[in-house]
Chain A
Amino acid sequence: MPSKPFTPKVITANALLEGDVVYLTGDNWTRDLSKAEILTDEADADLRLIEASAQSDKVVGVYLADVTVNGSVPVPVHFREDFRAKGPSNYAHGKQEQF
């Protein structure tokens, strides 16, 4: 059976100290999804995930999240990732303050 084609992903996690949702950008982490590095190659994504997971002094719970690409900006596929990118909908206590 052919495996499902690889769809674009970003690497995401929570920051160890603040708990904030963060995304991998090259060698660093950003709180802004629009600045996240978009991974389009499966083997590359797997490798990057392993490297990112090793940064346990900075982040917790590293995983790949599906995105679609709008221009060059990643957009969440699932509503959970949309909420993670923005913060809670009841107060402007999350990232909606910043971004």
Chain B
Amino acid sequence: MYHYTDFDAAFLKERNAQFRAQVERRIDGSLTEDEFKPLRLMNGLYLQLHAYMLRVAIPYGTLNSRQMNQLALIAERWDKGYGHFTTRQNIQFNWPQLRDVPDMLDALAEVDMHAIQTSGNTIRNVTADHFAGAAADEVTDPRPIAELIRQWSTDHPEFQFLPRKFKVAVTGAEADRAVIKAHDIGLRAVKREDRIGFEVIVGGGLGRTPMIGKVLFDFVSQEDLLPTLEAIVSVYNLLGRRDNKHKARIKITVHENGIEDIRARVDERYALIRPQFTGVDQTLLARIKANFAAPQFLKGDSAPYHSAYKHDPLFRSWADTNLTPHRNPDYAIVTISLKAHGKTPGDATARQMRLMAGLAQRYGHDELRISHEQNVILPHVHKGDLPSIYYALKAEGLGTANIGLISDIIACPGMDYCALATARSIPIAREIATRFDELNLEHDIGPLKIKISGCINACGHHHVGHIGILGLDRAGVENYQITLGGDGTEQAAIGERAGPGFSATEIIPAVERLVMAYLDLRTVPEETFLQTYRRIGMAPFKAALYPEEQANAA
């Protein structure tokens, strides 16, 4: 876990003092809203539909118990007692008052956290595999490099006014749990003859024009990574379109100029700036790595786990869905579902945050993660402690056994909160989860990712959902479009639009028809929704979605 240096702490203190003065000047009338808005956005403060919203970065999704407890305190003292974990591993507070925000930022600084560059046309919070450091399939822990990138990109003077926002994701494993191909830059650690390097993917992104990222370089050594990133962002900074907001992301730059052209420009820029990187970053990286040393794994007794697994069917169900193999066979990775049926995806109350912090401290080597799928992870848990953890979680409404299943839905805040939204997302997610819980089919359906966005900007990653739902405003009525076959993993694919959209009341039955069709169409229960879709294509699902058209055609 990275701890701030004196330099980091001093920098943040100064930034927070500046922002406090800016807020005061806005309130006393010295600054107009036009002057203040870019300043507040630089510090993560948005004005949403009903209130301000403070977006706090959780770098590469890693937290310790002290930080989680502080988020709980902030939620209670300055918000309405909860926080919303986002698809970018951030947390959003939905109800802060302007006067309180400087105090909130100071409270965050106490635990090495901030909201800098969680908005604006800058390099945003660097995200990473939420199982980093724990996954069995990992080449290296991606977080030290993510932290190095965070330090390099924070307040980077050249990159404060990019053509558009810029998102970087890193994974250390072959299995992509960080959706790296849907990021402006995606990095995957690879090993070549005992040397660690990175595959560099550029130009991925969702939103209005979804694109799967392209491989720019298949291997960049660790020493060359930062100058390579600087060269890429530098090329984009000059070449990226500033004339049209909808064409300003690097995915369009890559698409319009071609990957070869971009590569040539990056090579040229790289040659120019490489000498400026004298190796300081590598000294820094070595220091950062020491912060991420693996915990001292315990040698305990796993018998309580086996006993609970044998005797308690609820525990068994939870263990089957919410646990992932850890690289230490005595350990497990626990995913805590923030998707209780009928609740708001990604929300946690202060009380729940404190419980999770306490469990991490007691059983989890003091580590927590936030996943882009809006769940919380205890990455290092000895198997013997799993029953204690499960029963504690269950008592606070956090014991839902649904990870990777139909009710583990990603949903953006949508028009319940977001000023950009064109329709609501949260009620659709809640109703789908509730419906399939009533049908008691969730576990029979098996792995199925539904992702819902309340506008074309795709914060809910609908394009990479096995079933994607996009909420739009069609002539003053909420309307929901379905895409099928999307995939956010290493086999990344953009979902295909199924046809005309559905109203808010039609969308739940439509999803139900789709899922029932899948249950009929799969060859064996083990064939997942996505596999079935890939085998038979859109037509049978379309028939299920639009039975009337089918009847008319006949």
Contact = CB atoms under 8 A, between A and B. Distances in A.
A88 B416 contact: yes
Contacts of A90: 344, 416, 426-427, 430
A17 B49 contact: no
B98 A83 contact: no
Interface stretch (B25-33, B197-205, B374-382, B527-535): B25-33
Interface stretch (A1-9, A33-41, A42-50, A55-63): A55-63
B155 to A, nearest CB: 27
Interface in A40-99: 56-57, 60-61, 77-80, 83-84, 87-91, 93-95
Nearest to B426: A90
A18 B47 contact: no
Contacts, number: 71
Contacts of A88: 49-50, 416-417, 426
Contacts of B473: 79-80
A87 B48 CA distance: 11
> Which of B50, B96, B344 has its CB near the most chain A CB atoms (within 10 A)?
B50
A19 B344 CA distance: 22
Contacts of A91: 80, 344
B476 A77 contact: yes
Interface in B69-100: 80, 94-99
A32 interface: no
B98 A89 contact: no
B51 A19 contact: yes
A84 B52 CA distance: 13
Interface string B431-449: 0000000000000000000
Given A78-B476, A93-B80, A60 B33 contact: yes
A75 B339 CA distance: 34
Contacts of A56: 29, 32-33
> Which of A56, A57, A88, A95 has its CB near the most chain B CB atoms (within 10 A)?
A88
B97 A17 contact: yes
Contact of A18 (B29, B97, B416, B427): B97
A19 B476 contact: no
A89 B344 CA distance: 10
Contact of B27 (A14, A17, A21, A83): A17
Contacts of A57: 29
B477 interface: yes
Contacts of A83: 49, 415-416, 424
Contacts of A18: 51, 97-98
A89 B416 contact: yes
B478 interface: yes
Contacts of B417: 88
Q: Give the secondary structure class of A's interface.
A: loop
B98 A17 contact: yes
B50 A17 contact: no
A67 to B, nearest CB: 13
Nearest to B415: A83
A21 B50 contact: yes
Nearest to A60: B33
A16 B50 contact: no
A19 B48 contact: yes
Contacts of B427: 89-90
Contacts of B52: 19
Contact of B477 (A17, A19, A79, A84): A79
Contact of B47 (A61, A80, A93): A61
B34 to A, nearest CB: 9
Given A88-B417, A90-B427, A93-B95, A16 B27 contact: yes
A21 B49 contact: yes
Contacts of A16: 26-27, 98
Given A56-B32, A56-B33, A79-B476, A19 B47 contact: yes
B490 to A, nearest CB: 34
Contact of A17 (B32, B99, B416): B99
B424 A89 contact: yes
Nearest to A82: B415
A79 B50 CA distance: 14
Interface in B336-384: 344
> Which of B33, B94, B478 has its CB near the most chain A CB atoms (within 10 A)?
B33
Contacts of A84: 49-50
15 contacts: A17-B97, A19-B47, A19-B48, A19-B98, A21-B49, A57-B29, A78-B476, A79-B415, A79-B477, A80-B49, A80-B415, A80-B473, A88-B49, A90-B344, A91-B80
Of all A-B residue pairs in the complex, the 8 with the closest CB atoms, nearest first, are A19-B51, A88-B416, A19-B52, A90-B426, A90-B344, A57-B29, A93-B80, A94-B50
Given A83-B49, A94-B50, 20 more contacts: A16-B26, A16-B98, A17-B27, A18-B51, A18-B98, A19-B48, A20-B50, A21-B50, A61-B47, A79-B473, A83-B415, A87-B50, A88-B49, A88-B426, A89-B416, A89-B424, A90-B344, A90-B416, A93-B94, A95-B50
